[in-house]
Amino acid sequence: MAINILLVNFTDQGIRNIKDSPQRANGFRELCKRSNIRVRDIFWTSGRYDMLAVIEGDDEAMSAVTLTMGKLGNVRTETLRGMDAETFERVLQRVS
């Protein structure tokens, strides 16, 4: 299964409704669960990004979930492909 790290920023709509953020995060967890995606963790952050989420699952399902989340209008995301040590070792074996 692939790992994605989502860097999240609130939109104007999302920050206006900031007090709903924990409920929206729970909705995100439910959406992931229905899509067979594991939410490893969600963090609210300060700095360049407002939140960070680590999810694991099928690439296409994760893409669909992040697009669905974006469509709601509360956040914009930047997605990074994450690798654990085992996956990175397999990638290194292919490096010429």
pLDDT value, residue 71: 96
**58, 1 contact by CB (below 8 A):** yes
In this predicted structure, the answer to whether residue 21 has a pLDDT above a threshold of 90 is yes
What pLDDT, on a 0 to 100 scale, did the predictor assign at position 1?
Answer: 87
- pTM for the model stands at 0.90
**Ordered domains of the chain (ranges, CATH):** 2-93 (3.30.70.260)
CA 89, CA 5: separation in Å to the nearest integer? Answer: 19
Are the CB atoms for 64 and 35 separated by under 8 Å?
Answer: yes
- Give the tens place of pLDDT for each residue, 31-87: 999 999 999 999 999 999 999 999 999 999 999 999 999 999 999 999 999 999 999
